[in-house]
Structure 1
Amino acid sequence: MFDVVGFGALNMDQLYMVDRIIGPEEETIIRSFKESCGGSAANTIIGLSKLGLKTAYIGKVAMDREGVKLKENLEREKVNLDLLIITKEGRSGKVIGFVDENGQRALYLDPGVNDTIKIDEIKIELVENSKLLHLTSFAGEGLKVQETLLERLSSRPLISLDPGNLYAKRGIKSLRRLIEAVNVLLLNEMEIKVMLGYRGSYKEAAKLLADEVDIIIIKRGSLGVYGLMDDLEVEVPALKVECVDTTGAGDAFNAGFLYAWLMGHDLKTSCYFGNYIASHCIQGYGATTTLPSSEATRILKK
């Protein structure tokens, strides 16, 4: 039995630091290069694994260099690989990005085998016995596979969803079947407005979904986090730390929030612990390199 199973795209992030983002027929200089294992759900699952939970991951990689690295990274972080699908054909997912001196980015997504995952490749019985299933986005047909998986579960774990920009842009109608199954919805201020096609405040947007989702969390970066559960609203400020890199901060928040919630803590405490884990993430480079170990959970006992 797993505490949490993640299900989302696995990508190798390849970032090139450049003088500026250029247009057609222009040239510029690459100053440096960074490569790291990515994928929103994977980042969150690694965070939960570091906090001491028993985790597993549903994803798909090829047997290329990137796929080997993605697999080894999950294994190194003690994420169970019984649900990981490895194919001999195709290429693993990549995100190729160009980042200028001001932090502006141009990102190119190559989904690779992420978009070839099939429901029959998933060991459904292993998912049924988990406490929580955490979902994030796919660029292609992965959404339909996630919907089918939820339909086929004979016993359903708690469901959390971070739709990210990719799913948010599809709109609420395209996500309706998924939203109806979700217990915890985690997204940022822009994403909830885009998803709903709503121009009002983030609080008003959250309340439009209150009858469909048990808990709605709006992540607001340096402005903190807003949580809504039934008629209870909480706002928790971000922790003041030196920010080095915001990559994966939202995924780190998800790990902290979901851990505290699974441990039986209330909405405000769970939001605080999410901010606490995110504050560790942004103090170093990469999405998971500075995430804390289970020692961090001691603050929940105070």
Structure 2
Amino acid sequence: MVVGDVVTDVVAVLAGGLTRGSDTPAAIRFTGGGQAANTASWLAAQGVPVTLVGAVGDDPAGRDRLAELTAAGVDCAVDRVAGCATGTVIVLAAGDERTMITERGANVRLRPGHVEATLAGTPDARHLHLSGYTLLDADSRPAGLRALAAARQRGLTTSVDAASAAPLRAVGPASFLGWVRDVDLLLVNTDEATVLAGGLDPPAQGRALIASARRVVVKRGGAGATWVDRDASVVTSPARRVAVLDVTGAGDAFAAGLLAAWLAGATPSAALHRAADLGAAAVSQIGARPAR
């Protein structure tokens, strides 16, 4: 089960640097996005049965997002909120960087009762993965906290993707780490790890964060990834060398590969390798969802 955002991405892959105050040529695509929806899509593409819990508006964009997720094999337990627009993100992508301009829309209307009811109605769920965006917004935070608590009560393993450095900095490391305390797996990229653990090297950041999470994976983009367990074991894995078109959703694809392998019993090394495969596939295309 994956809990979190569903949005429309407006992806602009810039031909060069952004020219402020004038025109910048770009290839522009309207695609499905949202950290949770992307991860669910990449899980479904691997044949993993997955239920997505989220919220969209009762509008054409919401209907389109649900239709494409269903076609991709995702079971959608997504609330359609009347009088509210589906979230939209403008993505400016250039090389190995992307900047996101976000309107979360109906995602802030995700409620604890909807999460609780979906968990109760999915007795065969084994694992709950939560998008950190749900925790980072005060309006949706109760739903994220309830998702983690209800999953633990039902004996599910849990994971959280920290989501984004700027809102992490805004809520503060202590608050966020308190919300995710004792999750089975915490995923952070290098910027997020620096916000939460300081400017240490990835193994040291992971060791600092295992006070809050049982396992930590630090995603380092083209430098690979590092897995740290509470038994102090550290596993590193290189990234795949591929031509980068668009890094949007690469971390979501990485998370899906990691979860699919780890939950199937793979070793940390094998799980990191599978995650790297999907991350490489994501950056080799425009858009955050698996190519169909």
TM-score normalised per structure 1: 0.85
* Structure 2 residue 200 is matched with structure 1 residue 200: yes
Residue equivalent to 2:213: 213
User: What is aligned with 2:279?
Assistant: 278
User: 1:1-150 maps to which residues of 2 (within 5 A)?
Assistant: 5-16=1-12, 21=18, 26-28=21-23, 31-81=26-76, 83-99=77-93, 106-122=99-115, 123=117, 124-126=119-121, 129-136=124-131, 137-138=133-134, 140=137, 141-150=139-148
Return closer, same or farther for 1:32/1:256 CA change in 2, 3 Å cut-off: closer
Counterpart amino acid of 2:224? G
8 Å contact 1:98–1:105 — kept in the other structure?
yes
3-state SS in 1 of match to 2:148? helix
Aligned to 1:298: none
> 1:289 Cα shift?
3.1
Distance in structure 2 (CA, Å) of the matches to 1:111 and 1:189: 24
Match of 2:251 in 1: 250
Q: 72-81 or 162-171: which moved more?
A: 162-171
Once the 2 structures are TM-superposed, how far is the Cα of residue 150 of structure 1 from its aligned partner?
Answer: 2.8
Give SS of 1:45's match.
Answer: helix
Residue of structure 2 in register with 1:184 after alignment: 185
Structure 2 counterpart SS, 1:164: coil
Residues 44-53 or 12-21, more deviating: 12-21
User: What corresponds to 1:299 in structure 2?
Assistant: none
- The answer to whether the 8 Å contact 2:42/2:290 transfers is no
Code of the residue aligned with 1:200 in structure 2: it is L
> Any conservation in 2 of the 1:48–1:255 contact (CA below 8 Å)?
yes
* Residue 128 of structure 1: how far off its partner (Å): 5.7
Deviation at 1:6, TM superposition (A): 0.6
> 2:246 is paired with a residue of what secondary structure?
coil
Structure 2 residue identity aligned to 1:209? L
Structure ID, larger Rg: 1
Q: Is the 8 A contact 2:45 2:290 kept in 1?
A: no
Indicate if the aligned counterparts of 1:283 and 1:290 stay in contact, CA closer than 8 A.
Answer: no
- The answer for unaligned runs of 5 or more in structure 2 is none
- How many Å separate the matches in 2 of 1:63 and 1:219? 35
Aligned counterparts of 2:32 and 2:142: Cα–Cα separation in 1: 25
- In structure 2, give the amino acid aligned to 1:143: R
TM-score by length of 2: 0.88
Q: Identity across aligned pairs (percent)?
A: 22
Q: Which secondary structure state, in structure 1, belongs to the residue aligned with residue 121 of structure 2?
A: helix
Is the CA contact (8 Å cut-off) linking 1:21 and 1:105 kept in structure 2? no
**How far off is 1:86 after superposition?**
1.0
> Is 1:289 paired with 2:290?
yes
Going from structure 1 to structure 2, the CA distance change for 1:127 and 1:203 (only over 3 Å counts) comes to farther
Aligned residues: 282
Cα distance between partner residues in 1 of 2:109 and 2:224 = 37
Q: How far apart, CA to CA, are the structure 1 residues paired with 2:121 and 2:48?
A: 16
Q: Distance in 2 between matches of 1:218 and 1:190?
A: 10
CA contact (8 A) 1:48 1:55 kept: yes
Within 5 A, what are the aligned runs for 1:165-176?
Answer: 165=164, 168-169=168-169, 170-176=171-177
Q: Deviations over 1:131-187 (max 9, x none)?
A: 111111135222222112333453131101101115532232221343214101111
Counterpart residue type for residue 78 of structure 2: L
List gaps (5 residues or longer) in structure 1: 292-302
Q: Which of 241-250 and 226-235 deviates more?
A: 241-250
